[in-house]
A and B are shown apart, each in its own frame.
Chain A
Amino acid sequence: MSAQDNEALFQQRVDDEQKVEPRDWMPAEYRKNLVRQISQHAHSEVVGMLPEGNWITRAPSLRRKAILLAKVQDEAGHGLYLYSAAETLGTGRDEMIDQLLAGKAKYSSIFNYPSLTWADIGAIGWLVDGAAIINQVMLCRTSYGPYSRAMVRICKEESFHNRQGYDILVTLCKGTPAQKAMAQDALDRWWWPSLMMFGPSDKDSPHSAQSMKWKIKRQGNDELRQVFIDRTVPQAELIGLKVPDPKLKWNESTQHYDWGEINWEEFHQVIQGNGPCNAERMAARRKAHAEGAWVREAALAYAEKKAKRKAA
């Protein structure tokens, strides 16, 4: 069969909503695109442990401490499933991690913002996980089987994360004036970066069109962003928080919120490494990796010795 026939058959399968599985023929670009996206997603889970992990030791009650620890643990688990899903495409976890540590692979820019107060833990769960879920629900229907199945599992846990984040803010908003101010401050700082999580506008998104055709992505960035806004604004109002966008207004005729303009200059700066915590996040990952090297070597050396003894 010619390459052209393969491509046409592949597209037909995708159009027919059949999942692509690891052993199936797939265009080299499809594979490359997926490895990029899935590994980026895995790295985001792992780097995403840092801003929240920052508050595990300061969580204000034992219940909150246990919930937060469980949540960050879930993220490590998501990282693992996603690395495994990417490995089915022939790229190993070590290689992907090396790319991250070398600064060649990206992760979600949202994690380059600092978690400064306890309310940020609420805002991350509510806004960051809330935005992630909208993207991930779409990805449950993505064309690549292992990615789609990983996402189904991840989505269930993410909705719990989203609720616990909102619950933190509900509690703060019912609390003392200082607690309420802490909640508003967190929304003020996390709102716009959360909107940026959906990526550039579709007209400026380099990977979007091809990803849509291959059904890796199924909805555009702008459409998903609007879903998030429409869902989140009433939740803010319900607990008396003000979304920091003077142009935000319900539009009766479109049945959507109209809203202001994202600061794309900030978006590009953070992607290029000039966000508030890019250097800290990478330093923390490199430190954990470097300081863990002897542990990984020991585990490997012991496993080899054990195998040798068994064979002898």
Chain B
Amino acid sequence: MTQQEALFRFALRMGDNTLVLGHRISEWCGHAPVLEEDIAQANIALDLIGQARNYLAYAGEVEGKGRGEDALAYLRDSREYINALITEQPKGDFAHTIVRSFLWDAFHLPLLKALANSPDERLKGIAEKAVKEVTYHLRHSSEWLVRFGDGTGESHDRAQAALNDLWRFTGELFEADDAERLLAKAGIIPQLENLKADWNATVDGVLKEATLQRPAGEWMASGGKHGMHTEHLGLMLAEMQVLQRTHPGATW
């Protein structure tokens, strides 16, 4: 694998992660528990989709085969998507959505802070802007998790159930593939395992305040980063890609 191929794969993965999660979060728009959350969740989804567009456009340029953001987003099948599994999990109840965001945000923020120092100017530029957005995302998901954990009996139980359910998707975040190892060695991206301490500190701190238990589950699912997804992604893409697939070559 050349460095350019690795860079394509990494930019594509970041695009896939942010697009898939952004899409999932956008599913709340019009259906949130309070109007303020319709606005907040839409805002977070918009940030992520904006980031996805930047990463995918960059991936297309690095690849050099003429694929733009929409070709990459709309004309790849689930086996070609390389996002982490946690991002594609269904919205579930609002506790699932908040826990899904929180576990991801706690990883996403330190990753972006490291990328903001990348010698790759494009990654650096995207990350510098995204750090501000994701700082807010993490604050928002943390605040809700604390409200749920330390709110009512029902909200506590729902939050704990969501944590137990989604925990198995967190191991994969820190597993580097060949592209990530190559780029980390070249100093372009951080070593993913080095982000674990930061993630642990955030997770443990918020769970403590929320009076929630860190799940004991040791077994971790993985595969998303290599195109082996849960069944949910194929359905999500079928919906997302329907117009592009039904009207090949049309402009929208």
Chain A positions near chain B (C-beta within 8 angstroms):
46, 49-50, 53, 56-58, 60-66, 69-70, 72-73, 76-77, 79-80, 83, 118, 168, 171-172, 174-176, 178-179, 284, 287-288, 291-299, 301-302, 305
Contacts and interface: CB of A to CB of B under 8 A. Distances in A.
A53 B240 contact: no
B26 A62 contact: no
A66 B39 contact: no
Given A57-B23, A179-B250, A288-B31, A62 B52 contact: yes
Contacts of B33: 288, 291-293, 295-296
B53 interface: yes
B49 A69 contact: yes
B47 to A, nearest CB: 10
B19 interface: yes
B98 to A, nearest CB: 9
A114 B42 CA distance: 22
Contacts of B242: 58
Contact of A294 (B35, B154, B250, B252): B154
Contact of A302 (B19, B69, B147, B154): B147
Contacts, number: 140
A73 B46 contact: yes
Given A57-B23, A62-B49, A118 B243 contact: yes
Instruction: Give the 8 A-B residue pairs with the shortest CB-CB distance, closest first.
Output: A292-B33, A298-B151, A298-B155, A53-B30, A73-B42, A295-B33, A60-B243, A49-B30
A286 B159 CA distance: 23
Given A62-B73, A66-B50, A298-B148, A77 B39 contact: yes
A62 B31 contact: no
Nearest to A299: B147
- For the residues of A in contact with B, the DSSP-based class is helix
Contacts of B19: 62
A50 B252 contact: no
Given A56-B26, A287-B31, A295-B94, A65 B49 contact: yes
Contact of A73 (B39, B53, B152, B250): B39
A70 B46 contact: yes
Interface of B: 19, 23, 26-27, 29-39, 42-43, 45-46, 49-50, 52-53, 56, 69-70, 73-74, 93-94, 146-148, 150-152, 154-155, 158, 236, 239-240, 242-244, 247, 250-252
A62 B75 CA distance: 12
Given A62-B53, A176-B247, A69 B158 contact: no
Contact of A178 (B42, B69, B158, B247): B247
A53 B29 contact: yes
B152 to A, nearest CB: 5
Nearest to A303: B147
Given A61-B244, A176-B250, A288-B32, 16 more contacts: A57-B26, A62-B19, A62-B52, A63-B53, A69-B49, A73-B29, A73-B42, A73-B43, A79-B35, A179-B247, A292-B32, A294-B158, A296-B34, A298-B151, A299-B34, A305-B150
Given A69-B29, A69-B42, A62 B69 contact: yes
Contacts of B244: 60-61
Nearest to A54: B30
Contacts of A76: 29-30, 35, 38-39, 42
B252 A171 contact: yes
A28 to B, nearest CB: 28
Contacts of A299: 34, 147, 151
A175 B250 contact: yes
A60 B42 CA distance: 18
Given A66-B49, A80-B39, A171-B251, A72 B30 contact: yes
Contact of B46 (A69, A291, A293, A296): A69
A284 B146 CA distance: 28
A299 B243 CA distance: 39
Contacts of A287: 31
